[in-house]
Structure 1
Amino acid sequence: MLSLSILALSSANAEKQDSKANVLTLSDVFDIEYVGAMAVHPKNDYVVYERRALDIMADSTRINLWQLNSDGSNHRPILSGKTNYRLPVFSPDGSRLAYVSSSEGDNQLYMRWLDTGQTARISNLAHSPSSISFSPDGKWLAFVMFTPGKPSSLAIDMPKKPKGAKWAGNATYIDNLAYRSDGAGFLPAGYSQIYVVPSEGGSARQITQGDYHHDGQLSWSQDSQHIIFSSDRHPDWQRRPLESDIYQVNVKTGDIRALLERAGPEFAPVVSPDGDKIAFLQVDDRKLASQNAQIYVMNSDGSQVKGLATKQDRPISNIQWDNAGKGVYFSYDDHGKKKLAYVDLNGKINRLNASLGGQSLGRPYTSGSYIVGNKGEIFYTQANSQRPAELALLASNGETKRLTRLNQDVLGPKDLAKVRSLTVKSSVDKRSIEAWLALPPNFDPEKKYPLILEIHGGPHAAYGPQFSLEVQLMAAKGYVVVWANPRGSTSYGEEFANLIHHNYPSEDYNDLIDVVDGVIEEGYVDEEQLFVTGGSGGGTLTAWIIGKTDRFKAAVVAKPVINWLSFSLTADGYAYFTQYWMPGMPWEQVDHLWKHSPLSLVGNVSTPTMLLTGEQDYRTPMSETEQYYQALQLRNIDSAMVRIPKASHGIAARPSNLVQKVGYILAWFEKYKPEQAE
């Protein structure tokens, strides 16, 4: 058994690594803050944003609302304390601020009058609201809320329970295809519906009906009579995991009319400022594992659909109209970075000088958000390899300025790992494979360092030169850390991403080994101290790697897919995975799925391996981890299984679980470092 006191181990080894370095430790995780959702005042020159902090007492993320002028002045709290205040939305005239708060126990809608600071609860909801949107006339707030339905049942002739008998309880009867979801568990009967509530308070009124989910982004018509939304209202929606169309619902009558029905998903509709047009995203669904959305615009009645940005071979998201209604801003992922662009109604695209990021704390995934100001400026979360998301401004003249320094008190005194890029040629086909390195504090190129290869999940996702607590903590312990975007990664085009379509894992293994060799060639890595880890798809690749090579001294396989046959019939998204990730139903593709399963290679493994998964993970269920652990045990391979409590697939949702995850990974690797390396 591996006995650990993780916080103490981190501090002790940090001192051992360099007595002069003030390095990041696991206990510092609880002091991190970052910027979340934002709202721009419609008339005045300031922004309200979610100031998010990792709460050591509640073991969660505490969310308060702060405001800040565009020049960086007047930075102060609006709503602050232990209670969460989130999802700020200004009224169209700028006199009020709506938000969601749990100040009275459950999540409710509140309104703040900005001239007096008075606040009032304006809802009495049974479930949490989301997708909040003010009507243009300021009289209504629209939102999405789960609405319970009647659960399925099947009558059985149970005998009468004797008085005083202690039976086990009633069985749960399930007959839906979608019956559980990662992060939510087993799903109650019901659907997400659209509601409106008077902005001055009152009873919420449900305006959509039917056995369909009506969630996602809401946008009002200019006359405040209709709400535009996307949904799949097909009777067989459960078996169509990507489909959605664009509808409008009459707020008074509840009448729903389809504005656009096409094959594939149309989603994220946004009405233009004058109400004449609707911009939206659409995917040309070809049943590929990775598919990029494109930007379209149509008249408000659904006529004259026109493509604005239909040849952008990059993942596009977060479309927003400019204030004049002459074009649309959007973010897109390119070479491991989230960037910002603008397209006018003639399809002319202008790339903007802003790099978004910082909202993925644990690992260096692409992330970030932005919002358009009332004078054409853009507030955004700034990407920085040394800091989580800070608020920054892109002025109308193209100049950028960072407005906040939320972590200067915590990270300023620390000796953080410097991050730099590395590009290698794949040994498979000479494609360029991008990677990034974190070098330990006080790095000396004349020394030899242990190396950790950290692999991203997805598998269709992208790492980049972003701040990462996990990477920084690993580097603080004296490791060179390398992360890469092998084939299958997004942000390089659909062709590159789909090189692993129905072929995963495969040559992405070669790309990763090429990256490791590229770092070794630089001369400061000890080849006898190579370690490998990754989560989700990265866990799958980690298990695949140690089935192919014994070069790594130890491995940590986090929340993996080990056996595609079992995964396909136990994961929460099985309707999607079997249609998009697999060439056919699993019972028809046994040989194919087994060929790509890391479990098929377990007979080759000699690397000491730790398995690490959340106990409530329904995306890559614990049964995947247990299969691999038991196979390793049967083979007498040094192995361990770590089960993270109260964790779904997103282990880092609780700060203490993020700490445990990194702590166990580092402790496992320390156990297998050669004695002479101390």
Structure 2
Amino acid sequence: MAKKDARRLTIDDLWKIERVGAPVLSPDGAQAVCAVSRYDMEKNKGYGSLVLLSTFGGAPRELTSCGEKDSEPQWSPSGTHIAFVAKREQEGKKDEAPQLYVIAPDGGEARRVTTLATGVSGIRWLPDGKRVAFISWVWPQLKGEKAQAKQVKADKDRKESAYVTEAHEWRYWDHNLPMGRVPHLFVADVASGKCVDLFEGTDLSLPWAEPDANCYAVHPDGKRIAFVHDPEPVKRILNGMALSEIELKSRKVRTLIADRAWDFGTPHYSHGGDRLALVARHIGKHHNAPSQLALFDMAALKWRVVSARWDREVASALRWSDDDAALYFTAEEDARCHLWRFDLANGSPAIVARGGWVQGFDVANGKVAYSADSMMHPSRAFCCLPDGTAQRIENFNDKLLAGVALGRAESVRYKGAQATAERADTQMWVVYPPGFDPKKKYPLLHSIHGGPHTASGDTWHYRWNNQVFASGNDAHGRNDHVVVC
């Protein structure tokens, strides 16, 4: 219930909220690092910093503060360094594109590793702690960093604002794809900064639709990387992805799975390296087939779906348990997204942490850390305790939202137009204004999501925030709404 003297949530509040990213655990599980995004409305600019969190509780400690959108933190295998992606000014040189940096977790100055004109994203450490794999969008017909840098400068200096393209796909969601460029997989030497384009001279590229570190996986022996890619001559975002593996020393590539009836993603090696977990969609059966959990046997070179009997879609990257007996992932259920543990011996899924909406997670040394939001609060970071309960490990936004009234969010079910005895009822959310009075009449606001492949969930949204929609623009509730979605 809303406090009598509490104020209403506003759009300005949404921009003041510190947006907490998914925690990434240190190898010993004692600490987590996460990216926190902040926005300055007057400067019309966003910033990001890295924050250290203790999994035992306590105040967060800011690790970086001077970069532009510091993001994608990853602990080194030894836990002595954290790699991240940022645009910074260092030693009089300002990054034109995001670069790879490393910093010690106890503080100090971050060190720039790369100076690639084409930029860096999607990073992963190799097991030796001396190299980092990453993604960079390059012109495939050009060889070497100098040629790429020359083309970057030519693009920057061009006076025309329009492009002419014969590409089958040149835009994804709300942004143009880099013109003439494709995402390649690189490896950087952390000490020297030397970078190797593993795909140079081939027609290989990672998926074009926002490729990230979940497109590939580094083998525990550090000699191989598995990755998903479009095997077709004409690359299309909706093509099914194949699974291949590249040997780092020779750059020889072998195809592990190439079945046009299936689409594969998010590969992840087991700790022993004998199996590769991934998600698989049977697109030959249905174009919108749900993602299922699958395993690839590295010795037998065969794969199988292991979650076929479970009527849920695997909706995230995968993580192995420490003993390789189970896999962790997120999946939706009844308009909420939970963190699950799937036992591979008996095929049994169990909820580890309930949403709201689990946005990201990590597993290390018996610890599970995750971030989650709901219609009642923005993203927060948690650590799962041995007794199954969750402990919050940060306090971002508590002061800002302490005096803000929020309305109740309720999940309801109703008979849809095509409801039958066999067909389940339709789920719907009802969000009430703060201080809702059941004796009063309120205008109804229908918030329509962008379906049909997604649904309105129990999540905090910055573009379509149901709490803002429900709250009137004054303290007396004169413009309150009941929101359904």
Can you list the C-alpha shifts for 1:580-622, whole angstroms capped at 9, x where unaligned? xxxxxxxxxxxxxxxxxxxxxxxxxxxxxxxxxxxxxxxxxxx
Q: State the SS of the aligned residue for 2:273.
A: coil
Deviates more, 1:324-333 or 1:467-476: 467-476
User: Could you tell me how far 1:116 is from its partner in structure 2?
Assistant: 6.2
Q: Is the CA contact 1:35–1:389 (under 8 Å) kept in the aligned structure 2?
A: yes
Q: 1:302 to 1:90 in 2, by over 3 A?
A: farther
- Aligned equivalent of 1:220: 218
2:277 counterpart residue number:
279
Change in 2 beyond 3 A, CA 1:354/1:231: same
**Equivalent residue for 2:55?**
70
CA, structure 1 residues 170+95, in 2 after alignment: closer, same or farther (shift >3 Å)?
Answer: closer
Q: CA, structure 1 residues 392+108, in 2 after alignment: closer, same or farther (shift >3 Å)? A: same
Q: Distance in 1 between matches of 2:203 and 2:136?
A: 14
CA change 1:172–1:242 in 2 (3 A) is closer
Match of 1:199 in 2: 190
Paired position in structure 2 for 1:479: 480
1:32 offset after TM fit, Å? 0.9
Listed as ranges, the matches of 1:383-532 within 5 Å are 383-430=373-420, 431-468=424-461, 470-477=465-472, 478-484=479-485
What SS class does the counterpart of residue 305 from structure 1 fall into?
A: strand
Letter in 2 for 1:22: R
Q: Is the 8 A contact 1:341 1:349 kept in 2?
A: no
Q: Return the alpha-carbon distance in structure 1 between the equivalents of residues 48 and 305 of structure 2.
A: 38
Give per-residue Cα distances to partners, 1:554-585, cap 9 Å, x unaligned: xxxxxxxxxxxxxxxxxxxxxxxxxxxxxxxx
Question: Max radius of gyration: which structure?
Answer: 1
1:463 & 1:112 partners in 2: Cα distance? Answer: 39
C-alpha distance in structure 2 between counterparts of 1:44 and 1:341, whole Å: 19
Aligned-partner Cα distance in 1 for 2:162–2:368: 53
SS at match of 2:387: coil
Worse-superposed segment, 469-478 or 438-447: 469-478
- 1:73–1:391: structure 2 CA closer, same or farther, 3 Å change rule? same
| Amino acid in the other structure paired with 1:314 | R
In structure 2, distance between residues paired with 1:87 and 1:457: 28
Q: Does 1:349 align with 2:340?
A: no
Secondary structure, counterpart of 1:268 in structure 2: strand
Tell me, in whole angstroms, the C-alpha distance in 2 between the residues paired with 1:390 and 1:186.
Answer: 32
Deviation for aligned residue 1:330: 1.4
Number of the residue aligned with 2:147: none
The question of whether the paired residues in 1 share the 8 Å contact of 2:231 and 2:258 is answered with no
Q: CA deviation at 1:90?
A: 0.8
Question: Larger deviation: 209-218 or 32-41?
Answer: 209-218
Gaps spanning 5+ residues in structure 1: where?
1-17, 152-167, 358-365, 485-678
Q: Which amino acid aligns with 2:450?
A: G
Tell me which amino acid in the other structure corresponds to 1:344.
D
The 3 A distance-change label for structure 1 pair 170 and 298 is closer
In the alignment, the residues of structure 1 paired with residue 447 and residue 396 of structure 2 have an alpha-carbon distance, to the nearest angstrom, of 27
Q: CA deviation at 1:78?
A: 0.7
Q: Which residue in 2 is equivalent to 1:243? A: 240
Contact 2:419-2:425 within 8 A present in 1 as well:
no
The alpha carbon displacement at 1:292 in A equals 0.6
Q: TM-score, normalised by structure 2?
A: 0.85
C-alpha separation in 1, matches of 2:301 and 2:288: 29
**1:369 and 1:380 in contact (8 A); partners too:** yes
Asked whether the 8 Å contact 1:452–1:479 carries over to 2, the reply is no
CA drift at 1:170: 11
Change (3 A) 1:90 1:349: same
Give the conservation status (yes or no) of the 8 Å contact 2:63–2:107: no
How many angstroms apart in 2 are the aligned matches of 1:119 and 1:82? 10
Paired with 2:436 and 2:325, the residues of 1 have a C-alpha distance of: 50
Match of 2:88 in 1: 103
- Give the structure-1-normalised TM-score: 0.61
Task: Give how far 1:242 is off.
Answer: 3.1
1:125 positional shift: 1.1
Cα gap change, 1:350 to 1:115, in 2 (>3 Å): same
Change (3 A) 1:180 1:114: closer
Change in Cα spacing, 1:427 to 1:306, as seen in structure 2 (3 Å) is closer
Shift in Å, 1:186: 6.0
Paired amino acid for 1:266: F
Residue type of the alignment partner of 1:259: L
Distance (whole Å) between structure 2 residues aligned to residue 212 and residue 187 of structure 1: 16
1:331 aligns to what?
330
The 5 Å alignment of 1:164-183 reads 172-183=163-174
- Alpha-carbon distance in 1 for matches of 2:55, 2:395: 14
Taking a change above 3 Å as real, the CA distance of residues 387 and 288 of structure 1, as seen in their structure-2 partners, is same
Task: Give CA-to-partner distance per residue, 1:88-137, whole Å, 9 cap, x none.
Answer: 01111111110011112331101113356342111011123222111111
- C-alpha separation in 2, matches of 1:28 and 1:446: 30
Greater strand percent: which structure? 2
CA offsets per residue over residues 127-157 of structure 1, 9 Å max, x none? 2322211111112100111012459xxxxxx
Does the 8 A contact of 1:66 with 1:77 survive in 2? yes
SS at match of 1:331: strand
Q: Is the 8 A contact 2:29 2:364 kept in 1?
A: no
Confirm or deny: 8 A CA contact 1:21 1:442 kept in the other structure.
no
Q: 2:63 aligns to what SS in structure 1?
A: strand
- Residues 23-38 of structure 1: matches in 2 within 5 Å? 23-38=8-23
Paired amino acid for 2:247: N
How many Å apart are 1:257 and its aligned residue?
0.8
353 and 252 in structure 1: CA distance in 2 versus 1, 3 angstrom threshold:
closer
Query: 1:328, CA displacement in angstroms?
Result: 0.9
Instruction: List gaps (5 residues or longer) in structure 2.
Output: 90-94, 143-158, 473-478
Determine if contact 1:191/1:211 at 8 Å carries over to the other structure: no
Moved over 6 A (4+): 168-171
Distance (Å, rounded) in 1 between the aligned partners of 2:70 and 2:432 = 38
Match of 2:368 among 366, 378, 384: 378
Per-residue CA deviation, residues 497-555 of structure 1 (Å, 9 max, x unaligned), is: xxxxxxxxxxxxxxxxxxxxxxxxxxxxxxxxxxxxxxxxxxxxxxxxxxxxxxxxxxx
TM-superposed CA distance for 1:347, in Å, is 4.1
Which of 185, 194, 203 is matched with 1:211 structurally?
A: 203
Quick one: percent identity of the two aligned structures? Answer: 24
Quickly say closer, same or farther: Cα 1:482–1:114, change in 2 above 3 A.
closer
Task: Summarize the Cα distance change of 1:352–1:396 in structure 2 as closer, same or farther, 3 Å threshold.
Answer: farther
Q: Is the 8 A contact 1:131 1:218 kept in 2?
A: no
CA displacement, residues 391-422 of structure 1 (integer Å, 9 cap, x when unaligned) = 01222331112222311112110111121222
Asked whether the 8 Å contact 1:135–1:142 carries over to 2, the reply is yes
C-alpha distance in 2 between matches for 1:143 and 1:408: 35
Cα pair 1:84 1:103 within 8 Å, conserved: no
Amino acid at match of 1:320: R
For the Cα contact (< 8 Å) 1:309–1:347, is it kept in 2? no
Which residue does 1:48 correspond to in 2? 33
Contact kept? 1:218, 1:229, Cα under 8 Å: yes
Q: Please, which of 244, 247, 253 is the counterpart of residue 256 of structure 1?
A: 253
- Contact 1:454–1:481 (CA under 8 A) maintained in structure 2: no
Aligned partner of 1:563 in structure 2 is none
Map 1:252-331; keep pairs closer than 5 Å: 252-262=249-259, 263-286=261-284, 288-301=286-299, 303-316=301-314, 317-331=316-330
> Structure 1 residues 149 and 19, CA, compared in 2 at 3 Å: closer, same or farther?
same
Matches of 2:305 and 2:313, distance apart in 1:
16
- Per-residue CA distance 1:152-180 (angstroms, 9 max, x = gap): xxxxxxxxxxxxxxxx9798542221233
Instruction: Give the SS at the match of 1:37.
Output: coil
Which digits, 9 at most, give the CA deviation of each residue in 1:627-671, with x for residues without a partner? Answer: xxxxxxxxxxxxxxxxxxxxxxxxxxxxxxxxxxxxxxxxxxxxx
1:332 alignment partner AA: A
Q: Secondary structure at the match of 2:12?
A: helix
Instruction: Give 1:416's aligned amino acid.
Output: L
Instruction: Check conservation: 1:89, 1:133, Cα contact below 8 A.
Output: yes
Q: Size of the alignment, in residue pairs?
A: 441
Tell me, in whole angstroms, the C-alpha distance in 1 between the residues paired with 2:174 and 2:72. Answer: 20
